[in-house]
Structure 1
């Protein structure tokens, strides 16, 4: 009778130990699934929500233990990456496209300085006649802009006529006088007319080298 009682007590003790161990394992698993940590400091661990003692951020629930994925075989992982992808993340295809954009902004519009050209005389003098009347007037290349009177041009014409009249055989002096008038901006056709008439012109025309619109006079 004494042996039977001892055996029963031992059996009850083993059964109780098994129950305590099972309860501790279950409690540990539940605790692991409810562990909170700091996103910036993973070493900070807590069993309940709160603030991180280091940075003050809210503690977040730590991920539950990962489960073993079923259905992925070794052959699937050994395939080339461009043939098999173990992912379900949405992707987009990048393409180049010109999209018209309208921007409402305050500012000023200026002329492109690369498209600006100036018309000026090569000699000092005064304008006798101006052929452009107003701002933004259209001008074509080769158009007559103004007539200028210049004492320097008048003197150069008189020197050319003097050489032709008194030393026509001196080709060097005649060519030099003609070249001086060309450098001063007098057209070759006008020089030829001066030689034919034997009389200098009081004014010399200035022509435009550009096509566009008059913007301003400097």
Structure 2
């Protein structure tokens, strides 16, 4: 029992299919095929700090969808296939896609800062962003999810430890990109949820609802009111 209610998992029948995950996998695979067909496309989109500083801002995003070789692609695709459906089902399509892209960008920025001379490609930062998102989700909702949250946190801890050890032993792994993505995913989830809470009454029964700490709709309303105030002063 948690807070007077029996802890229950979200019914799988009500969960959306992992369509965004599948689309991301398909896009990533198609782009890797294009890398074979178009010579030089990899370096045209890779993270190269000097070029980003000169205004090639698209390089903050394009490295997420490029991969150095087939093994690199398969490893990241398997990771996305494993964690993507979970994040998509609990977070929803828009939040999952936002976390994926923004965490990837955060990973590129972290790599630019700590590894400015190295060029890099790969979806690892974006995937670690979803790992960070899952970590925050389990940590923030332990009372609501019960033992499942503890098992999830233990699994994530093992994943992070294994990848950290590998990163320290293999020089080609961009640890800064991984860390930047993880932190971004954790922070975004802390702010925008899911932040699950039990609500209900003796008549309707308990149910889990998402109560984000920061509401995008509320932010839009505040921005609209601020604009009206500015217009009134002019």
Instruction: State whether TM-score is above 0.5.
Output: no
Looking at secondary structure, tell me which structure has more strand per residue: 1
Structure 1 or 2, whichever has the larger Rg, is: 1
The TM-score, its normalising length taken from structure 2, stands at 0.18
- Of structures 1 and 2, the one scoring higher in RCO (CA 8 A, sep 6+) is 2
